[in-house]
Amino acid sequence: MGYGIKLRVWGEYACFTRPEMKVERVSYDVMTPSAARGIFEAIHWKPAIRWVIDRIHVLNPIRFENIRRNEVESKASGRKKVIYAAEERQQRASLVLKNVQYIIEAHFELTEQSGEEDTAEKHYNIFLRRARQGQCFHRPYFGNREFPVNFDLLEEDAEMMKYSNVHTGEIDLGYILLDQTYHVNDDGETVEVIPHFFRARMINGVIEVPKLQEVNR
């Protein structure tokens, strides 16, 4: 296990889309572990490390809001390099989370691609420096790029105590997306994407995140 890190993240809106909703976007009640991992990767990621989410603290009340957004019908690809937004624009309703705030506890593990120079201490210090200065490879977001993430590093346990959870007792949140694994062919093309879910329970505002290998047993 790598060094543990605690990051507070917050924003005005979030949408962690439920995969079973095909037409209109509907968010899970809370942030998914894969979305949390994406925030850490936006701040610091190299092939030598793999981020693992340990737990998520839900600090604010869970509130939803209906909004309508303009989206384009298709995506750019190798065959379709140009999209004319005026011709393909369509409105979609979305049920999104409003005024979200979380504390994410995570650690990283060294991968098989790490070299002699890739020590845990080195990557830990790189992340601390970048997080303290608000640096990131790209602006992290809550599910959709139009919902940007604000973040700051919690370096002492006393700093966590300032952000008390508003939730008490145990809440069964149902099955939530944990992560996805990708199978590629010999040409490096993704041929299969397998989603993995876990039964999320929030106890006094805290969600313990299982390891992927535990879910797959």
Residues 69-124 pLDDT 10s? 766 555 555 555 555 545 555 677 899 999 999 999 999 999 888 888 989 999 99
| Interval 132-191: pLDDT, tens | 999 999 999 999 999 999 999 998 877 887 887 789 999 999 999 998 888 777 776 777
| Interval 35-44: pLDDT, tens | 999 999 999 9
Q: Letter for the amino acid at 146? A: E
Q: What is the dihedral of CA 54, 214, 206, 137, to 10 degrees?
A: 40
What residues have CB less than 8 Å from 102, skipping those under 6 apart?
Answer: 8, 9, 10, 30, 31, 36, 56, 57, 58, 59
The pLDDT of residue 1 is 46
Q: How many residues does the chain have?
A: 217
What number is the average pLDDT over the span 3-21?
92
The pLDDT of residue 22 is 65
This prediction's pTM = 0.85
Buried b / exposed e along 114-140 (16+ C-beta atoms within 10 A): beeeeebeebbeebeebbeeeebeeeb
Distance CA 186, CA 82 (A): 29
Q: Which of 64, 33, 58 is nearest to 168 (CA)?
A: 58
What number is the average pLDDT over the span 15-26?
85
Q: Which domains does the chain have, with CATH numbers?
A: 5-163 (3.30.70.2660)
